[in-house]
Amino acid sequence: MKLVFILDPLESLKAYKDTSLAIMREAASRGHQLFVSMQHDLFLRGDLAKIYAKKFSFSQHSYSLEPAIEYQPADFDAVIMRKDPPFDNEYLYSTYLLEIAVNQGAKVYNRPSAVRAWNEKLAVSRFPQFAPEFLVTSHHDLILEFLASQQDIVLKPLDGMGGSSVFRLGVQDPNISVILETMTQFGTKTIMAQRYLPAILQGDKRIIVIDGEPLAYALARIPKAGETRANLAVGGTGIAQLLSARDKEIATKVGQVLKRHGLFLVGLDVIGDYLTEINVTSPTGMVEIAEQTSCNPAQLFVDALARQ
């Protein structure tokens, strides 16, 4: 296959743990051709979707790139969008360009219209039977009412990743007003509030779903001492563990819906028995699972991609 990956700058990727690079290594080991692009390499020439891409190959200790060439996305067997959030206007424009490319014959994973439609925080509202109590608003009075009813909550921006700007808030917190002012930008920015789940101490489980099927193992991200957030980006420790019966129930039912919407690679976040986020942009955790178990998520991803 001829594959192009839309990535963050290569120098910013952590080679020892990056999921995109793990997938690329697996694809390269099978003889597939690899190309890389950045978000701003997508463009329109008239009504035709175009992309600048550089042929990529791994070397013994690094990688090599050939000069960029102009292609149509449909020239590739798969366009794999792995740009990290935030999901800002530039990300939004990329989904529009990629959707035009799909209409011109390109195969893009994940489907651009679905990435646009499935906000990673709001998507849990599609599965209320699995979600903890939550509220989405910019109104301080509504958040204060929710806090009074739940006593202990977590506040999240709708466009972040890696635990950035996530706050735990209790009814006795002396900084309630300033936290709400900061997060909502004085009532002008919509955020999510969720009931705090004490099971976070046993791990925020990342369940990887590939083409509708969950892996057998989740990556439980354990928060470091004194920290509410379990994200690896803020010092959490990742421990691979078999899915529980509840994990399987959530991931199987959600996975069936994801597949119908063209969401090929997704990371579900589950705390205890509750679904808290659905990551559709650039879910991670493959390397840690592969290192700790007999499961090779990158291999399963390339297998599934080949079947497409």
- Choosing from 82, 195, 205, 221, which is the catalytic residue? 221
Per-residue confidence (pLDDT) for residue 233, from 0 to 100 = 67
Q: What is the pLDDT of residue 219?
A: 97
Give mean pLDDT in consecutive 10-residue pieces for the chain, a chain of 308 residues. Answer: 97 94 98 98 98 95 95 98 93 97 98 97 97 98 98 93 85 96 96 97 96 98 73 79 98 98 98 97 96 98 96
Task: Write down the catalytic residue from 82, 156, 195, 205.
Answer: 156
Sorted by where each starts, the structural domains of the chain and their CATH numbers stand as 2-113 (3.40.50.20), 134-196 (3.30.1490.20), 199-307 (3.30.470.20)
Q: Are strands 33-38 and 108-109 parallel, antiparallel or unpaired?
A: unpaired
Are residues 118 and 135 in contact, defined by beta-carbon separation less than 8 angstroms?
Answer: no
CB 155 within 8 A of CB 183: yes
Q: Which two tokens stand for residue 112?
A: 């651009």
Please tell me the predicted confidence (pLDDT) of residue 226: 62
**Confidence at residue 61, expressed as pLDDT on a 0 to 100 scale:** 84
Dist CA 261 CA 111 (whole Å) = 8
Question: Hey, is 127 helix, strand or coil?
Answer: coil
Could you confirm whether 11 is annotated as catalytic?
Answer: no
Establish whether the linkage from the previous residue to 110 is cis, with ω within 30° of 0. Answer: yes
Check: CB of residue 233 under 8 Å from CB of residue 279: no
Sheet containing 213-222: which strands, arranged edge to edge?
Answer: 237-242, 213-222, 204-210, 265-271, 274-279
pLDDT score recorded for residue 161: 76
Question: Does residue 17 carry a catalytic annotation?
Answer: no
How confident is the model at residue 150, as a pLDDT? 98
Clarify whether 296 is annotated catalytic. no
Active-site residue flag, 55:
no
Does the annotation mark 277 as catalytic?
Answer: yes
Q: Which of 50, 82, 111, 121 is catalytic?
A: 121
Q: Active site residue: 110, 119, 231, 279, which one?
A: 279
Q: Are 36 and 56 in contact (CB under 8 A)?
A: yes
Which of helix, strand or coil describes residue 58?
A: strand
Per-residue model confidence (pLDDT) at position 287: 97
User: Under a CB-based contact definition with an 8 Å cutoff, are residues 283 and 277 in contact?
Assistant: no
- One of 159, 206, 231, 288 is an active-site residue; which one? 206
